[in-house]
Amino acid sequence: MVGGCAGSFLGEYQAGGVIVVLGIHNPYHYPLVGRFCGTGMHGGKMFLRMDELPFDLPPQVCSKKADEQDLKEVGPLLEEYCKLFKADLEKILDANFYVLMPNTANPY
């Protein structure tokens, strides 16, 4: 779980697990993720809280706007984050989330 922003190569060769990037501690308005997000990703999921997807996602990564089921899946992680850092869950959920997953039709 990343409360702020992540740099380049986030999720590079991700083989499993979940990465969540919230972008809520970003006083300088840096991009949520840097270049080459998801490069080599072949397992797991990434949840990005942002208005638009990164422009340079590789073709081996599928992306979609998070639906109710996706948010339910990541809900316990968000709740724990809010409890630990005294953040407002409703405020965090009042934004777009995107889900990135490996594209099994176009593997590396």
Which residue ranges make up each domain of the chain?
Answer: 15-102
pTM: 0.93
Q: Which DSSP letter does residue 42 get?
A: -
Helix or strand (DSSP H, E) at 78? helix 68-85
Considering the chain, what is the average pLDDT of its residues? 94
Is the pLDDT assigned to residue 84 strictly greater than 90? yes
Q: Are strands 15-21 and 97-102 parallel, antiparallel or unpaired?
A: unpaired
**Which pLDDT band, with edges at 50, 70 and 90, does 108 fall under?**
low
Name which of 73, 53, 60 is nearest 14 in CA terms: 60
CB atoms within 10 A of CB 68: 7
Residue 30's contacts (CB-CB under 8 Å, 6 or more residues apart) are 5
